[in-house]
């Protein structure tokens, strides 16, 4: 926690210092901080110019890009566009701090003669990112970039591109998206660099500047390269190539004119769609993460469709990536649950139940419902289960019918219903009071063992002091409850809940809703279920007739 706090303070200090950076620094100022643009301060060469390390008086670093001299960028256009770009703020794009446009008198040569001429100098000043660019990491297996980090980088790049394409009144098309233009910030957060330069230089001049650059041509969309057609789908093609390189670690041969990365795409589509190839690249990954890799490859291949109309939008790509991430977490959760299910006895003995609940100790009680009391059961391995001790009333279903019903409920599996692990049905001889005297009688114990959900029930969040349920979460909870109810209603043997209420909707660690107490109407019979629930405070108002009369 202390490390996180100091890092946060450092980031805040850094932000405060950079916010004080002049929006329109003078050329003399830039010369001072770059040591007059000395070669020892060069930290990068790009399509649009040379990048220098600038050191401020307080020791803070900035990146100063000296743009190439062209005839296409006029004073007003540069200042307007650069000024607009400075207002862009997103954690996945490199922050533009300031810009400089200054005309200097310089001795220039023309027709073998030297004379003084006005030479416009153009500079862009960015936040400095010490981890460098993505191309220094993704091709080197010893770089320490594991699959989890690669996946986060892909998602971060997509979030940055979504901001440029879809979160502004006018989309910014990058036109030069490649690994060397993805900078890495603290904690390896990816940030898109060189965005918006096509506006400063103009699209035609951007194409002229970039199309003959070694290494860049493989990222360019075919319709842009051959016909000069530009749209946000041009960037989607480049993003697809980028995703394929990040996932596979393959580096294109820069000595070959691999236009639109045809060789790379062909290699991936032939070899990397097979799970065996993915396993050889990532031998230590678990199954759910291997599936993540496969899905990302499929997504990358979708992005590099030759027809721009068939390429997805960056918004839909982010949606798919979130699905992929969610599937992996669900898979891992289900694996853990399945392991617990296989270890937990399907028909535990009463003595076992008494041991894990501390003999149904009061301090282990975690809830009371229409059908019984719920206790926390702690297994030897530390895993926790919920143990429901059912009310035993007259005229319960026959033992055989009860056992058949509860056995069928154990076989039900759905992410939005609480999982039933096992059941116990035992008769014990106990000393009980009857008409003022104590006699031995057969006492029936009926117990159901469920997965344990520590967040508790929905009613605590709807009516309590907690404000965790914003609209997005609330909508997902509604959707999840409906999915669970659909599963119960439309299964081979439909189950009518008969006691659906916030207290019977439990929430997991991710606030995913799970319907509890389903199927108990079968165990008790519908008439007895009605008798048990009709007088319980809270339950009766969920009835249709009661609701209509209120």
Domain boundaries, the chain: 10-128, 131-343, 344-549
Return mean pLDDT, the chain: 80
Q: How much is the pLDDT for 339?
A: 59
Ranked by mean pLDDT, the top range of 82-86, 261-265, 292-296, 521-525 is 292-296
Q: Measure the CA–CA gap between 117 and 279, rounded to whole angstroms.
A: 62
Task: Find the length of the chain.
Answer: 550
Q: At what angle do helices 147-166 and 314-343 cross, to 10 degrees?
A: 150
**Residue 183: strand pairing partners:** 133, 191
- Does the pLDDT at position 398 exceed 50? no
Q: Which one is predicted more confidently, 504 or 540?
A: 504
- Does the pLDDT at position 513 exceed 80? yes
- Does the pLDDT at position 2 exceed 50? no
Percent with pLDDT over 90 in the chain: 33
Q: Which one is predicted more confidently, 99 or 369?
A: 99
Unique residue bearing structure tokens 């419902």: 369
Q: Which one is predicted more confidently, 410 or 329?
A: 410
What would the pLDDT profile of 285-308 be if each residue is shown by its tens digit? 877 788 889 999 999 999 999 999
Q: Count how many Cα atoms sit within 13 Å of the Cα of residue 107 in the half-sphere of its side chain.
A: 3
- Does the pLDDT at position 143 exceed 60? yes
Q: How much is the pLDDT for 371?
A: 73
Which residues make up each annotated binding site?
66, 395
- Does the pLDDT at position 158 exceed 60? yes
Name the CATH architecture for the domain at 131-343: Orthogonal Bundle (1.10)
What would the pLDDT profile of 322-370 be if each residue is shown by its tens digit? 888 766 555 555 555 555 555 688 889 999 999 999 999 999 999 887 6
Q: What is the DSSP string of 227-281?
A: H----HHHHHHHHHHHHHHHHH-----TTS--GGGHHHHHHHHHHTTSHHHHHHH
Q: How much is the pLDDT for 510?
A: 80
The arithmetic mean of pLDDT across residues 264-283, rounded, is 86
Q: Measure the CA–CA gap between 93 and 378, rounded to whole angstroms.
A: 48
**Residue 449: strand pairing partners:** 387, 422
Q: How much is the pLDDT for 325?
A: 78
Ranked by mean pLDDT, the top range of 114-118, 215-219, 267-271, 497-501 is 267-271
**Which helix (H) or strand (E) element contains residue 55?**
strand 49-55
Residue 519, phi then psi, degrees to nearest 5: 80, -5
Q: How much is the pLDDT for 105?
A: 79
Do 131-343 and 10-128 have the same topology in CATH?
Answer: no
Q: Measure the CA–CA gap between 134 and 150, rounded to whole angstroms.
A: 10
Which residues make up each annotated binding site for ATP?
66, 395
pLDDT classification of 543: cutoffs 50, 70, 90: very low
Percent with pLDDT over 70 in the chain: 77
Unique residue bearing structure tokens 């008198």: 105
Q: How much is the pLDDT for 359?
A: 92
Q: Which CATH class is domain 344-549?
A: mainly alpha
What is the four-CA torsion angle of 209, 214, 220, 222, rounded to 10 degrees? 100
CATH topology of domain 10-128: Phosphorylase Kinase; domain 1 (3.30.200)
- Does the pLDDT at position 221 exceed 80? yes
Q: Are 62 and 33 in contact (CB under 8 A)?
A: yes
Ranked by mean pLDDT, the top range of 14-18, 116-120, 312-316 is 312-316
- Does the pLDDT at position 489 exceed 90? no
Q: How much is the pLDDT for 200?
A: 61
- Does the pLDDT at position 161 exceed 60? yes
pLDDT classification of 468: cutoffs 50, 70, 90: low
pLDDT classification of 412: cutoffs 50, 70, 90: confident
* SS3 letters across 150-178: HHHHHHHHHHHHHHHHHCCCCCCCCCCCC
Q: How much is the pLDDT for 342?
A: 58
- Does the pLDDT at position 418 exceed 70? yes
Q: How much is the pLDDT for 550?
A: 36
Q: How much is the pLDDT for 413?
A: 83
Q: How much is the pLDDT for 537?
A: 41
What would the pLDDT profile of 22-81 be if each residue is shown by its tens digit? 888 999 999 999 999 999 999 988 777 899 999 999 889 999 999 887 655 556 667 777
Q: Are 97 and 62 in contact (CB under 8 A)?
A: yes
- Does the pLDDT at position 132 exceed 60? yes
Q: How much is the pLDDT for 336?
A: 59
- Does the pLDDT at position 240 exceed 90? yes
- Does the pLDDT at position 245 exceed 70? yes
Q: Measure the CA–CA gap between 296 and 319, rounded to whole angstroms.
A: 12
pTM of the model as a whole: 0.61
């Amino acid at each position: 926690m202390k490390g996180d706090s100091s890092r946060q303070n450092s980031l805040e200090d850094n932000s405060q210092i950079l916010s004080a950076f002049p929006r329109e620094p003078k050329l003399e100022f830039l010369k001072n901080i770059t040591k007059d643009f000395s070669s020892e301060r060069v930290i990068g060469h790009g399509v649009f110019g040379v990048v220098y390390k600038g050191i401020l008086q307080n020791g803070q670093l900035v990146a100063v890009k000296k743009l190439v001299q062209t005839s296409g960028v006029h004073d007003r256009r540069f200042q307007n566009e650069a000024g607009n770009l400075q207002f862009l703020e997103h954690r996945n794009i490199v922050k533009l701090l300031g810009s400089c446009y200054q005309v200097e008198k310089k001795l220039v040569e023309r027709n073998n003669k030297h004379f003084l001429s006005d030479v416009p100098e153009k500079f862009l000043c960015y936040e400095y990112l010490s981890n460098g660019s993505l191309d220094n990491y993704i091709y080197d297996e010893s770089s320490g970039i594991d699959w989890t980090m690669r996946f986060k980088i892909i998602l971060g790049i997509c979030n940055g591109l979504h901001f440029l394409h879809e979160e502004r009144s006018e989309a910014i098309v990058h036109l030069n998206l490649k690994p060397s233009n993805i900078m890495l910030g603290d904690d390896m957060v990816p940030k898109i660099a060189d965005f918006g330069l096509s506006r400063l230089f103009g699209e035609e001049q951007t194409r002229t500047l970039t199309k003959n650059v070694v290494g860049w041509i493989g990222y360019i969309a075919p319709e842009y390269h051959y016909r000069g057609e530009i749209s946000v789908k041009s960037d989607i093609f480049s993003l697809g190539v980028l995703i394929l390189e990040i996932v596979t670690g393959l580096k294109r041969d820069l000595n070959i004119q691999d236009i639109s990365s045809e060789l790379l795409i062909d290699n991936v589509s032939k070899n990397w769609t097979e799970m065996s190839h993915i396993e050889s690249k990532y031998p230590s990954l678990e199954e759910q993460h291997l599936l993540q890799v496969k899905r990302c490859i499929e997504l990358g291949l979708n992005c590099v469709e030759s027809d721009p109309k068939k390429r997805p939008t960056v918004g839909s790509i982010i949606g798919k990536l979130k699905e992929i991430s969610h599937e992996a977490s669900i898979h891992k959760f289900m694996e853990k649950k399945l392991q617990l299910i296989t270890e937990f006895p399907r028909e535990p003995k009463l003595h076992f139940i008494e041991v894990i609940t501390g003999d149904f100790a009061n301090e282990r009680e975690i809830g009371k419902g229409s059908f019984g009391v719920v206790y926390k059961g702690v297994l030897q391995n530390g895993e926790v289960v919920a143990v429901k001790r059912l009310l035993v009333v007259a005229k319960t279903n026959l033992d055989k019918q009860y056992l058949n019903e509860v056995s069928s409920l154990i076989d039900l599996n759905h992410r939005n219903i609480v999982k039933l692990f096992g059941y116990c049905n035992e008769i014990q001889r106990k000393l009980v009071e009857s008409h003022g005297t104590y006699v031995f009688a057969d006492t029936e114990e009926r117990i159901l063992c469920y997965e344990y959900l520590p967040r508790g029930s929905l009613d605590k969040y709807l009516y309590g002091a907690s404000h965790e349920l914003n609209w997005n979460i609330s909508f997902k909870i509604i959707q999840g409850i409906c999915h669970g109810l659909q599963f119960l209603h439309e299964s081979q043997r439909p189950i009518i809940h008969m006691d659906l209420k916030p207290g019977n909707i439990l929430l997991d660690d991710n606030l995913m809703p799970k319907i509890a107490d389903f199927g108990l109407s079968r165990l008790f019979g519908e008439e007895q279920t009605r008798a048990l629930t009709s007088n319980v405070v809270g339950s009766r108002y969920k009835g249709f007739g009661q609701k209509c009369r209120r």
